[in-house]
Amino acid sequence: MTSNALILASDITEQAQHSGRRAGNSLEKIASEQGDNAMLAVFSEMDILTVAKIVREHDATIPSIATWLMDADSIKKLLNVEPSYWQNLDEESLFCAQTEAHSLLAQIFLSYEDDEKQLEILKAIIQDDFGLLYLSLPFIGHDFSELEYDEEQVSGSIEELLLKIKSLDEEAYREVMAVSTNGTLENIEAALKNNANKQRVTAVEMDTDDMFAPL
């Protein structure tokens, strides 16, 4: 299987250079036809930057299968490298980085129901300085003073994401609110980009054999 997995991983990596969505569809096809273990074998041969490109071209309405299967540490690594793709965003759009972060975090926390796993992911993210910055980015500049915490929020919204974090871990919620209240969009975005570009230098060589949690 290793040889076949390497070939498939190479093909999907090539696809991802043109379309992360298409590459994600190819992974789902492998899982559907050959099983999750076969798909994970292929994924384990892919570098974290390719994984990031696949995931970021999905959203909570059509999530990537990767966000369901990656373990907490790998999600943390994903958030460290994903901002390296922000360099190509329209610089005139002030909230581009926030939109990208919101979309990815919604995939992780709003596209499936598994509070135990999501809590593990959340704790891993906030233990990392840049993970906490990424987690806080979508909420900068928003006023939540009149948010009704006991009411159902619009599906996929900033408010729903914030309340999901709060329901998983009050301490994480307080840290996110502190960073988003005291930080500035420009400084946090710059810090995330700078860190991601440093990570990008070595990410291609990253060993992803332990990227996914056991099924």
For residue 9, give the amino acid letter.
A
C-beta atoms surrounding 141 within 10 Å: 12
Cα–Cα–Cα angle for 108, 112, 77, nearest 5°? 20
Q: Would you give per-residue pLDDT tens digits along the chain (215 residues)?
A: 567 888 898 999 899 888 888 988 888 898 889 888 888 888 888 888 888 888 888 877 777 887 888 889 989 999 999 999 887 655 555 448 899 999 999 999 999 889 999 999 999 999 999 999 999 999 999 988 888 887 888 788 999 999 999 999 999 999 999 999 999 999 999 999 999 988 877 655 554 444 555 54
What is the DSSP secondary structure assignment for residue 62, as one 8-state letter?
Answer: S
Beta bridge partner(s), residue 212: 70
* Residue-wise pLDDT tens digits, 73-93: 989 999 999 999 887 655 555
Cα 24 to chain centroid distance, Å, stands at 14
DSSP reduced 3-state for 114: coil
What is the DSSP secondary structure assignment for residue 35, as one 8-state letter?
Answer: -
Give one word for 152, left, alpha or beta, with left for phi > 0 and alpha for psi -120 to 50. beta
Name the CA dihedral angle for 179, 49, 57, 176, rounded to a multiple of 10 degrees.
-10
Question: What is the rounded distance in angstroms from the CA atom of residue 94 to the CA atom of residue 114?
Answer: 33
Residue 127: predicted pLDDT? 96
Domain limits, the chain: 70-203
Phi, psi of 62 (to 5 degrees): -130, 75
Q: Name the token pair of 29.
A: 């096809």
